[in-house]
Amino acid sequence: MPKIAIFLLSGVQDFHSTAAFHALLYARDLKAANIEVKVILDGAGTGWIDQWANPEHRLHQLYEETRAAGIIEGVCKF
């Protein structure tokens, strides 16, 4: 079985929101296809966790789905 890691390094600026959306969406789709996948947030990408945790954020539900599925693997602590 293939294993895929998706690294999200893009910050929370509006012009990076498409990259963040696609990282979560692609990871969810891979998991649904029985492919082992993890999303790792690093650098400026760590800011997305605070954004997505807000229930009013448009990606909150997708974030919760991926988090509950064990797809979000880690966040850099720097």
Beta strands at 3-8 and 72-75: parallel, antiparallel or unpaired: unpaired
Higher pLDDT, 34 or 76: 34
Residues 30 and 13: their CA atoms lie apart, in Å, by 26
Q: What is the pLDDT of residue 77?
A: 62
Indicate the domain borders of the chain: 3-75
How confident is the model over 33-53, as pLDDT tens digits?
A: 999 999 999 888 889 999 999
Which pLDDT band holds residue 78 (cuts at 50, 70, 90)? low
Q: What is the pLDDT of residue 28?
A: 96
